[in-house]
Amino acid sequence: MRIGIIGAGAAGLAAAFDLSAAGHKVVVYESAPFIGGQASTIPVGGSQLERGYHHLFTNDKVILDLMADLDIAESMKWYPSRVGTYTSGKVYKTTTALDLLRFRAIPFLDRIKLGLFALRIGRIKEWRDLEDQTADYWLRERLGGMAYEKVWAPLLQGKFGDFYDQIGMPWFWSKIQTRFASRQGIRGREMLGYPDGSFDTIFDKLRSVIESRGGEIHISVPVTKVEVVDGMATALITKSSTGEQIREEFDTVLSTVPSFSFPDLVELPDDYKKRLTDVHYLAAVVVVLELSQQLTDFYWMNIADPDVPFLGLIEHTNMLPKDWYGGRSILYLTNYLDRTDPMYKMSQDELLDIYLPHLKKFNPKFDRSWIKKVHYNALSAAQPIIGTNYSNAIADHRTPIKKLYLANTTQIYPEDRGTNYSIKMGRKLADIILKDAQQNWRTWK
């Protein structure tokens, strides 16, 4: 089979890896001038660094299995993380369960409630029982008080903005499960994974193996149309760097583009299209600062304070060695925003003017002269908003067009999106495509 794949992110490349292993010719088209999608990197101080902070949890098994298949398992390293929470004008250490007991921003009884409550959610095995409730409602009803108002509510509001009260409870459940899995006991810190050489180590190896099997990966080549004849996908139209339209025939097509842009590529029946367009996405705006000095002691800082104009502060070099990045401290300032939010349209300098005065809250000595270089990245399809009873609303991977498949982050559920789950989905799609080809080929032809 000749299989056309749209998108060279984690899902597209994982599918291409398995389909090429099964002896098929894969051709991957990527509109960006690089592979890796949302987990792609930029050069910083002699190393590669993700455009948006990335790490893995210990239960991210599928990506670890893929690394073993690629013979690069030994490049995954595990590091203890230090987590802080900024609330009521102060930074609190919230790395371990014992730290929570010392979390003086809320009364002692609420701290106990907060810890026990997380344990309670961690023990829930059946997320389907939670599907008809929003996280906001469930947490307000069952936890409530200062533990909710001072901790979880500001985090939900910061992450999802105006959509915070629409998020289905399975999203929250899966976050707690993941974080428990990465902790080592009640005293234990969270252990997070990061590959030597960045996430590029995985993507570069995928590329070289796919190419060694005769597969092709074309960057800076957007797909503009999926050609459909008699209800069946037959070809892809791409745009070359000179603006020329090129048509390539395929036996099967897998698209990994976001739900909002898939209907631009192909005419779809209304009910399927509605499933796609009903899911709203938040964009991520990430500013990366190369600093001459360390800002805080923490790798991950939750911001539970609406007066701070960013959602998170991730100091990458508090988990990974500074000397990888020319001795600089690497600090991400991140926000999830609606694409209509004026902040999404702001330039790097406009954002810095708003953000920088707040850095003194985390270190009073901070000075603008510490900033040696700034990188700005905006990702339009960063976080799908997944509401209640979503299992009834997910778009099928098999689209209504024969031999046309879709795999994007809106189809990951109940887990939150992540590289592990996009790889799992890409490999699942390869399996579906191979089985469908075996079963249906004669009737389709």
Q: 3-state class of 246 per DSSP? A: strand
Partners of residue 255 on adjacent β-strands: 6, 406
Q: Measured between alpha carbons, how far is 68 from 76 in angstroms, rounded to an integer? A: 10
The answer to the question of residue 256 lying near ligand FAD (CB under 6 A) is yes
CA 322, distance to chain mean position in Å, is 24
| Closest to ligand FAD by CB, 59 or 363 | 59
Q: Is residue 37 at the binding interface for ligand FAD, with CB under 6 A as the rule? A: yes
- Rounded to the nearest whole angstrom, what is the least distance from the CB of residue 408 to ligand FAD in the complex? 6
Q: What is the rounded CA–CA span in Å between residue 277 and residue 260?
A: 6
Q: How far apart are CA 18 and CA 69, in angstroms?
A: 10
Comparing CB distances to ligand FAD, the nearer of 182 and 234 is 182
Minimum distance between the CB of residue 73 and ligand FAD, rounded to whole angstroms?
17
Q: Is 168 in the site for ligand FAD (CB under 6 A)?
A: no
Distance CA 166, CA 373 (A): 38
Assigned token pair, 367: 């000075």
**Closest by alpha carbon to 210, among 361, 406, 22, 429?**
22
Select the residue interacting with ligand FAD from 3, 4, 5, 6 (CB under 6 A): 6
Strand arrangement of the beta sheet that strand 90-93 belongs to: 90-93, 83-87, 300-303, 312-315, 329-337, 281-291, 371-384
Rounded least distance, CB 239 to ligand FAD, Å: 9
Residue 172's closest CA among 233, 117, 247? 117
Q: Shortest Cβ distance from residue 105 to ligand FAD (Å)?
A: 26
Position among 4, 19, 49, 53 found at the interface with ligand FAD (CB under 6 A): 53
b/e for 182-214, b at 16 or more Cβ within 10 A? bbeeeeebbbbbbbebbbbbbbbbbbebbeebe
- DSSP state, 76? E
Decide if residue 9 touches ligand FAD (CB under 6 A).
Answer: yes
By CB under 6 A, which span of 103-111, 119-127, 155-163, 379-387 interacts with ligand FAD? 379-387
What is the rounded distance in angstroms from the CA atom of residue 427 to the CA atom of residue 418?
14
**Residues of span 295-354 touching ligand FAD by CB under 6 A:** 334
Looking at beta carbons only, is 159 or 358 nearer to ligand FAD? 159
Binding-site member from 177, 422, 424, 433 for ligand FAD (CB under 6 A): 422
Strand spans (E) along 89-231: 90-93, 191-195, 216-218, 223-229
Asked if 91 contacts 309 with a C-beta cutoff of 8 angstroms, the reply is no
Size of the site for ligand FAD (CB under 6 A): 37
Among 284, 291, 301, 404, binds ligand FAD (CB under 6 A): 284
Smallest separation (angstroms) from ligand FAD to the CB of 393: 19
Q: Does residue 106 interact with ligand FAD by CB under 6 A?
A: no
Residue nearest to ligand FAD according to CB distances in the complex: 37
- The verdict on 39 binding ligand FAD (CB under 6 A) reads yes
Q: Of 9 and 170, which has the nearer Cβ to ligand FAD? A: 9
Give dist(CA 369, CA 290) in Å, integer. Answer: 11
Binds ligand FAD by CB under 6 A, chosen from 54, 82, 207, 427: 54
408 near ligand FAD (CB under 6 A): yes
- The residues that touch ligand FAD, with contacts defined as CB under 6 A, are 6-12, 29-32, 37-39, 52-56, 222-223, 256-257, 261, 284, 286, 334, 379, 381-382, 408-409, 417-420, 422
